[in-house]
Structure 1
Amino acid sequence: MGEVFTHRLRVRYSECDQQGVVFNGHYLFFYDVALTEMWRALIGDYGQMVEHGYDLVVAEARIRYREGARFDDLLDVSMPVAHLGTTSMIVRPVFRVEGRLIADGEVRHVFIDPASKSKREMPAEVRSALEPCLDGTGQAAASRG
């Protein structure tokens, strides 16, 4: 298992639904916050990558809900990288509160040219920064990218 980046955030009241748990749609927002922080910590300024002609878009996302996080919980979002393809990458986020599994999933991103919106090969510096984070489960996903 590679190094796994984890970002901690606190659940805000406005993120909870009438059942008192985090509304399901917020988990992808939490994932996006964690991805931004992982990018900042491992690769650097996302804007510079865009200036150099690369961007990252979500091609597919799946979240499996196990238990509801609640207001004021400290939610840890772990970001194991499952696959680094030619033009894509797959992250399998895991959401935990005090070690309890709250949700998990899979998000596939594709690298594109921001101007033409066409696929682009993953930048070498991004690949080298993310390779230590590979979790060793990417074999099944190898054909996706």
Structure 2
Amino acid sequence: MGEVFTHRIRVRYSECDQQGVVFNGHYLFYYDVALTELWRAAVCSPDAMVAAGYDLVVAEARIRYREGARFDELLDVRLPIARLGVTSMIVRPEFRVGERLIADGEVRHVFIDPASKGKTEIPPDVRSALGPLAELDPALDRPADSR
């Protein structure tokens, strides 16, 4: 297991609701921004990914809210990769302000061919790039499961 990728985002005023906390819908946006930066740092740019013949789609997302982040706080989005399957990967994001756990969850992505929109296997170079960043859960990392 390597160091888990973390991306820092400063909460903007417009992202907060009337109670002064981040509106819940923004956490998936924060996740998407962090995942894009993980990909850019570890694998390739989004354009290069599509040019290489694969893309990612979200098949399932779950976020558990524990405490609200507030305006101007620095929110760290930690992206442990829990599973690299045959055609999918599971990421278990954690959202933290300092030591405070704000939210956590699980997002399942499926790799697809951009032209056909059909599932495709995780490319070997992607598996090699993400493997060292993974905190694989042995109960979930079953290569025979191609979801």
User: Which of the five TM-score ranges fits, normalised by the shorter chain?
Assistant: over 0.9
Q: Are 1:30 and 2:27 an aligned pair? A: no
- Once the two structures are TM-superposed, the CA of residue 126 in structure 1 deviates from its matched residue by 0.5
* Unpaired segments ≥5 residues, structure 2: none
Counterpart of 1:19? Answer: 19
Aligned length: 145
What letter matches 1:38 in structure 2?
Answer: L
Counterpart-to-counterpart distance in 2, 1:57 and 1:103: 22
What is the DSSP-based 3-state SS (H/G/I as helix, E as strand, rest coil) of the residue aligned with 1:139?
coil
The code of the aligned residue for 2:87 comes to T
Matches within 5 A, 1:1-145: 1-140=1-140, 142=142, 143=145, 145=147
Query: Is the contact between residue 64 and residue 104 of structure 2 (CA under 8 Å) also seen in structure 1?
Result: yes
Q: In 1, Cα distance between the equivalents of 2:99 and 2:55?
A: 33
Q: TM-score, normalised by structure 2?
A: 0.94
Deviations 1:37-89 (A, max 9, x none): 00011012121120121110000000000000000000000000000000000
Counting aligned pairs with the same residue, the percent is: 72
Greater share of helix: 1
Q: 1:139: how far off?
A: 2.0
Which consecutive residues of structure 1, in runs of 5 or more, have no partner in the other structure?
A: none
